[in-house]
Chain A
Amino acid sequence: MNLPVIIKFVIDLLAVLLLALGIKGLSKVKSARDANRLAAFAMSLSVVGLLSYYLGTSGIAIQSWIWIIIGSILGSLFGAILAKKVPMTSMPETVALFNGCGGMSSLLVALGVAIFPISGGQENFDFFKSLINEVSISVSIFVGAITFTGSIVAMAKLQGWLSTPGWTQSKVRHFVNIVFAVASLIAFFDLINGNTSSIWLLVIVSSLLGIGVTLPIGGADMPVVISLLNSYSGIAAASAGFVVDSQLLIVAGAMVGAAGLILTQVMCKGMNRSLVSVLFGGSLSAESTASSGSGEYTNITSCSVEECALTLEAANKVIIVPGYGLAVAQAQHTLREVTKKLEQNGIEVVYAIHPVAGRMPGHMNVLLAEADVPYEQLKEMDVVNPDFPATDVVLVLGANDVVNPQAKNDSSSPLYGMPVLDVQEARTVFVIKRGMSAGYSGIKNDLFDLPNTSMVFGDAKKVLNDLIGELKDLGVGEK
């Protein structure tokens, strides 16, 4: 072994180690930020390792340098700008966009190698080796294309640029996707048989498959899909590693692929859905409204902001249940002001965070942290559930299905079995909501009919602002 090979070997090993430590550190709150930087450092280290290897062996042509610099500057610049500008509420679609571009990158590498076989490879043609090469190229293209188009569709749907077309809710979509899948298989085998031109067929049908699979999925299930696509982009990277013969790529890609799968699993559990039903079941509301349309509310109590403020003032312990509606209304900062007032009055305030509150697990934590809510006040579902009976007031803000008692009591409900927050155990529950519309599951919420529940109708931000005013009038938090 000559020196450049040894240096690259050592650097690669170090990079893998640091990446692993980075992912590990990302799973603890205290070390997460440093771990993220460590992973970023490991990535730059791997680039240095690769470039120094080529400088020490074949050398890098000026022309190559120019294209390297153009590509890196443009990519990094746009990435950095987007990352700095994007609002925290749009985090899921941003992750989807980044993810799609990673898939596109793997796709392009495989395409490049397929159309223009890299010179300087093995001189003696080896059938086995070339077969592996073709398989890994095909897998890279297939997975890369699905990741790219799937992520872009996911992003567009979350942004509201794309709605769910009617035909995708019927059984037709399965037929269409099966056609795409079979066509990709045909292209795949054709490609391995040495018919290079079918590579374009593979690119087209796998792109269409990515669109066809993602398009029917409802907004609420989208985070699961993004997580799954994130796992795919790892697989795409790993197969690109087989294409260019890089162990580092394979390890890193495999780690991301495996980690993404676990996260997907966790999310499905939190929403009480199986991965299969997310991918093939279409949106939940389409089925459930037909089957369980028994939902008429009979005992709704609505109350004014003033009453709500009076009850809050008299409370000792308040639990806030934030949901996606809070994020949409951009009301997390206003909420923080309300809770600050309550705390100044000696009232204990805790936030109950359902595992899938917000749009992704942990999304709500990010949004509340942005509004300066102390980390210690965020309680996870299992920790906070025993506290509800000893709680005076629960404020439900833009959350719906995650506080539906049906999930515990009604075995015929589609929600049955989903872990929920037991807010109905508290003395008084205020639900701040725009109207009586159902949550994303489209299911009636029995909580609203309970005698200890009062509805405060209105936009979350406006209601909270009014609440601040009322609390001020009551002299709460003005010591």
Chain B
Amino acid sequence: MSFISLLWVLLLGSLLGLELIGKVPPTLHTPLMSGANAISGITMLAALTLIVKAEGNVPLLIIGSVSLGFALFNVVGGFFVTDRMLAMFSRKPSNKK
């Protein structure tokens, strides 16, 4: 990919982000923040690339692995915690304990 087309990708991605959450009810701000936060853990792909391309370079493998761990902590934790919050909204008042 040329740098210029990557810049286009950046621009369009930003516009998409602005457009997507234009009107969000305040109720959903916290879950949305936490969900978007989980998505920012997409750097796990960069960490994976690093590990695959390390070619036996142990320090690089370790850096990649730690980076992957941090990213997945972000991703898995973020999605779980968002799900926990949203589960409360969908719960009907009738099926409480």
Interface positions of A (Cβ within 8 A of B)? 19-20, 22-24, 26-29, 32-33, 35-37, 39-40, 43, 46-47, 50-51, 54, 58, 60-61, 63-64, 67-68, 70-72, 74-76, 78-80, 82-84, 86, 88, 91, 94-95, 98-99, 101-102, 104-106, 108-109, 111-113, 115-116, 118-120, 128-129, 132, 226-227, 230, 233-234, 236-238, 240-263, 266-267, 270, 353, 355, 360-363, 365-366, 369-370, 372, 374-375, 378, 380
Cross-chain contact of A86 among B1, B70, B81 (Cβ < 8 A): B81
Q: Which of B43-73 contact A (CB under 8 A)?
A: 43-57, 59-73
Docked pose: A29 CA to B79 CA in angstroms: 16
Residues A380 and B87 in contact, CB atoms below 8 Å apart: no
Residues B40 and A119 in contact, CB atoms below 8 Å apart: no
Residues A27 and B20 in contact, CB atoms below 8 Å apart: yes
With A27-B23, A68-B65 as known contacts, state yes or no: A105 contacts B44, CB within 8 Å: yes
Residues A248 and B68 in contact, CB atoms below 8 Å apart: no
Residues A237 and B64 in contact, CB atoms below 8 Å apart: no
Q: Across the two chains, which residue of chain A brings its CB closest to B53?
A: A118
Query: Shortest Cβ distance from A159 into chain B, in angstroms?
Result: 16
Residues B39 and A79 in contact, CB atoms below 8 Å apart: no
Query: Shortest Cβ distance from B13 into chain A, in angstroms?
Result: 3
Query: Shortest Cβ distance from B35 into chain A, in angstroms?
Result: 5
With A27-B32, A102-B43 as known contacts, state yes or no: A247 contacts B9, CB within 8 Å: yes
Residues of A within 8 A of B31 (CB): 26, 32, 36, 362, 366
Docked pose: A260 CA to B96 CA in angstroms: 34
Q: Across the two chains, which residue of chain A brings its CB closest to B72?
A: A75
Query: Shortest Cβ distance from B26 into chain A, in angstroms?
Result: 5
| B contacts with A: majority SS | helix
Q: Across the two chains, which residue of chain A brings its CB closest to B61?
A: A67
Residues B35 and A26 in contact, CB atoms below 8 Å apart: yes
Residues B73 and A260 in contact, CB atoms below 8 Å apart: no
Cross-chain contact of B56 among A63, A74, A104 (Cβ < 8 A): A63
Q: Across the two chains, which residue of chain B brings its CB closest to A254?
A: B13
Docked pose: A374 CA to B27 CA in angstroms: 13
Residues A263 and B21 in contact, CB atoms below 8 Å apart: yes
Mark contacts of B70-91 with chain A using CB atoms, 8 A cut-off: 1 yes-contact digit, 0 otherwise: 1111111111111111111111
A-B contact count (CB 8 A): 393
Most buried by B among A98, A113, A116: A98
Residues B42 and A365 in contact, CB atoms below 8 Å apart: no
Docked pose: A282 CA to B72 CA in angstroms: 34
Residues A102 and B46 in contact, CB atoms below 8 Å apart: no
Mark contacts of B1-41 with chain A using CB atoms, 8 A cut-off: 1 yes-contact digit, 0 otherwise: 10100100111111111101111111111111111111111
Residues of B within 8 A of A245 (CB): 1, 6
Q: Across the two chains, which residue of chain B brings its CB closest to A357?
A: B26
Residues of B within 8 A of A246 (CB): 45-46, 49
Q: Across the two chains, which residue of chain A brings its CB closest to B17?
A: A258
Residues of A within 8 A of B6 (CB): 241-242, 245, 247, 250
Residues B85 and A91 in contact, CB atoms below 8 Å apart: yes
Residues of B within 8 A of A244 (CB): 45-46, 49-50
Docked pose: A355 CA to B83 CA in angstroms: 22
With A108-B70, A111-B63 as known contacts, state yes or no: A249 contacts B45, CB within 8 Å: yes
Residues of A within 8 A of B91 (CB): 369, 372
